[in-house]
Structure 1
Amino acid sequence: MGASTTQDKELAQLGHVSNLNREWEEVLHFATKRQYPKGTTIAYKKGAGMYYLASGMVTISYFSSCGRERLALCINPGCLFNEARTVSGYEPVGRFLCITDTTLYRFPLDLLASQDFIRTYPHLITNLMRSMGMKMLIHYTFLASMGTEEPVIHLSRFILSLFRKHQLQKNFPCGMTQQEVANLLGIHRATLARAIVELKEKNIITKFTRNEVCINNIDDLRNMADLELDA
């Protein structure tokens, strides 16, 4: 397995997608550019349509019937999102949150219903189908792991995603409070605190705060995250 394939598989298991839809940059003239500061929740109902993320990071989460928020996917630059909602018309309760300052492009709601667009850009439709299939498989994997894997596994994967985000640096800011991280992972804060203690006791990390995360042993962290990179 090549290095890039291994990295892509690891990112997918961490719930991240990146550079899936770069081909769509050739049709950004159909879209409207939008910029959002960190912490903004995108009002997708007011601005309906499919989005292309040019820079920044957006998380997609959904709410259960009891109101608990669950992180579903982390969108990185070069990816489309909100496409399933756009083509299906189904409106689940969810949230698109800008984790960093974000630049995106919103395509018209009816773009994917245009036969002229589909005939002119069949390669983009093929790309869209491929990326939607990948996201579906990531969602299925996530659903299968919910309630069955230990919180320390979810925390380890979250730390690895930050490690990737910060260009493989072992010291970096988390940028979120422990309560925000707990909410993102769908666990209680006390459960998160116990998972942090466990990673510290195993000498895998030495610090986990809003301003600083320190990884001591990246190989043990990957093992704790239980990633299947050889399959």
Structure 2
Amino acid sequence: MTMSHDNKLENMLRESYSLSTRAPEWRKAFHLGTRLTFKKGTVICMGGEKSDLLYFIEKGEVRLMRTLADGREKIIFYLQTGALVGETPFFDKLPSLSSIVAGTNCVLYAFNRETVIQDILPNHPLLTLSLLQSLSCKVRMLSNQSVELSLKELPARICRFLHMRIPTDTSGQLDRWVHPALNQQELASLLGVHRVTLNKALRELEKEGILGPYSKNEVCILDRGRLEALSRSLDE
């Protein structure tokens, strides 16, 4: 069975900011890990520190964030339920340049170095495969972000982000209301622009009748066709 055009587009839209590859197989290894809970805003792994833990997100959303020398923060991408996080500092044994922060109240399972190296990797091939898939997906996300930051227009990148956040109702139809869950400062950080620049682009999309006013809680998609066309333009 071939993937439909809509599903292909949806996958492409999710490959810049949100991890599309899940690793549910790791739930079978919970007995090898430690269950941890974090409140929204808690730093799970601080940038500049080494980490001997690999995490699986059982519930909630976490953000990978970088703090610049002048104090500004940049959201690199976010990861949701079913994803792995923390692979880079775990395997290269160097201090992490980015922080892992709980974007919502979270439940994570942490696996220590000895367990992963001596038990999981040698004895659980499906977990090893899912780990490689997770790393590959993150390389793809960072590559896409690099291209978009240097070559693509901001309104199109805003439309891509909002499109991937449109919820699906029980009939399988996409709703016209989006719940971004990021305020303008956080969205500007994710897209790599100044908040004033983001605000100007949002106003342009409002004037063109594509979006209603932006808020963290909800945005109305006024012209679904044009929003999807702008999102698709990033892949041309």
Do these two structures clear the TM 0.5 threshold for a shared fold by scoring above it?
Answer: yes
Q: 1:165 Cα deviation (Å)?
A: 8.8
For structure 2, list consecutive stretches of 5 or more residues without a partner in the other structure.
none
Aligned residue among 71, 76, 80 for 1:72? 76
Q: Are 2:131 and 1:125 equivalent residues in the alignment?
A: no
Identity %: 24
Q: 2:26 aligns with which of 14, 21, 24?
A: 24
Partner letter of residue 146 of structure 1?
L
Which amino acid counterpart does residue 11 of structure 2 have in structure 1?
A: D
Q: Does 1:138 align with 2:141?
A: yes
Alignment check: 8 A CA contact 1:166 1:172 kept: no
Paired residues of 1:68 and 1:186 also in contact (CA < 8 A): no
Does the C-alpha gap of structure 1 residues 137 and 100 become closer, same or farther in structure 2, counting only changes over 3 Å? Answer: same
Deviation at 1:38, TM superposition (A): 2.3
- Partner SS, residue 212 of structure 2: strand
Structure 1 window deviating more from structure 2 (190-199 vs 116-125): it is 116-125
Do the aligned residues in 2 keep the contact of 1:174 with 1:210 (CA within 8 Å)?
yes
Mapped to 1, the partners of 2:43 and 2:167 lie a distance apart of: 23
CA distance in 1, matches of 2:233, 2:112: 38
- 1:152-163 to structure 2, matched below 5 A, reads 152-163=155-166
Provide structure 1 residue ranges, at least 5 long, that are not aligned to the other structure. Answer: none
CA 1:149–1:67: 2 relative to 1, 3 Å: farther
CA contact (8 A) 1:111 1:117 kept: yes
2:74 alignment partner AA:
R
User: The residue matched to 1:17 in structure 2 has which SS?
Assistant: coil
Q: Name the structure 1 match of 2:152.
A: 149
Residue type at the aligned position of 1:81: V
User: Which amino acid counterpart does residue 2 of structure 1 have in structure 2?
Assistant: M
TM-score by length of 1: 0.84
Aligned pairs (5 A) from 1:170-209: 170-209=176-215
